[in-house]
Amino acid sequence: MTLQLMDSVRQILAAVEKLSGKTICYIEKPDLPVPVSFNITDKDDPELKLFYRPHHNEGVNYDVANQAGHLLRLFAAPPEGRFVSVANRQTMARFILETESELERLSALLGRDKVRKMISLWYQGVVFQLTRMPPDIMVNKWLYDEWPELRPLLLQAIAAQRRQAIPSLSPDVRKATPARIYRAANIMNFVFFKCLEDHFHGDFIGPYHETIFILDGAPLARITASHNRNNHEGDRGMIDAWAAELELNNWYEWQSYLNFSSHD
């Protein structure tokens, strides 16, 4: 099934091709775990690969536009100013060392084998939030302001993301998650929804009013609201600011896109 996209989304993709100097190659992938996914290829690769599932609904337009928005911010920077966040064995080892006491507690509670299987999921999940959410706030604001045709799909996607986030507030999740992960993940969720609520004039943070994250997340929300560099450099600075506030500095690294390899 060919990927059917709105004209506005095709315009955004054309802008990605122009800025990157690459041609987008559309690849159908039935076993893709998400509706669509861009593969950020090496700097010398003439193509950007856009994988998609053969069966999709109109929501795929938002998914493509959102991911393309992130690429636009990357490629709008001068070549020497383009950076990609990476997580590797070294950064994961630091995560394990810094959460060792919590992992031991959970091993006694859940069993060592189960915790061993969960470590990479916990780590990858929180690092994805950390390195994705700050620029994603800016991308969603841009889509809302500049592409009104996409607003209904954008709001549907944010509502779905909120539904997925709320269960992580539960006491059962808290007991079965490393304390630093539980706190950081929920603060990041709160700040993400708070910033979009303020911009969209919506109601996204109701479930957080009865939690500690209204208070614990307030400093990071203020830091994020001061984001006045609306570009890739500003995104990097905001990600680093989130990491500093949440004490996650050692859990990721920056790699120049000039030296980036998608095969690493």
Of the pLDDT bands very low, low, confident and very high (cuts 50, 70, 90), residue 260 is: confident
d(CA 124, CA 24): 27
User: Which residues are CB-contacts of 52 (< 8 A; sequence separation ≥ 6)?
Assistant: 3, 26, 27, 28, 29, 32, 35, 36, 37, 60
What pLDDT score was predicted for residue 42?
77
Q: State the residue for tokens 């539980």.
A: 182
- What's the mean pLDDT in 190-216? 95
For residues 243 and 130, is the Cβ–Cβ distance under 8 A? yes
Q: Classify residue 211 by its DSSP letter.
A: S
Question: Parallel, antiparallel, or unpaired: how do β-strands 83-86 and 253-256 relate?
Answer: antiparallel
What pLDDT score was predicted for residue 239?
98
Nearest Cα residue to 133 out of 204, 238, 203: 238
Q: Is the pLDDT of residue 262 over 70?
A: no
Nearest Cα residue to 220 out of 197, 195, 198: 195
What pLDDT score was predicted for residue 153?
97
Q: What is the pLDDT of residues 169-181, one digit of tens each?
A: 999 999 999 999 9
d(CA 181, CA 220): 16
Least confident of 98-107, 221-230, 245-254: 221-230
For residues 116 and 123, is the Cβ–Cβ distance under 8 A? no
Q: What is the pLDDT of residues 99-131, one digit of tens each?
A: 999 999 999 999 999 999 999 999 999 999 999
**Residue 259 identity:** N
List the domain boundaries for the chain.
7-76, 83-259
Instruction: Calculate the average pLDDT of the chain.
Output: 94
Of the chain, the percentage scoring pLDDT greater than 90 comes to 90
Q: What is the pLDDT of residues 5-47, one digit of tens each?
A: 999 999 999 999 999 999 999 999 999 999 999 988 777 889 9
Of the pLDDT bands very low, low, confident and very high (cuts 50, 70, 90), residue 1 is: low
**Residue 108: other Cβ atoms inside 10 A:** 9
Q: Classify residue 247 by its DSSP letter.
A: T
What pLDDT score was predicted for residue 141?
97
Q: What is the pLDDT of residues 187-200, one digit of tens each?
A: 999 999 999 999 99
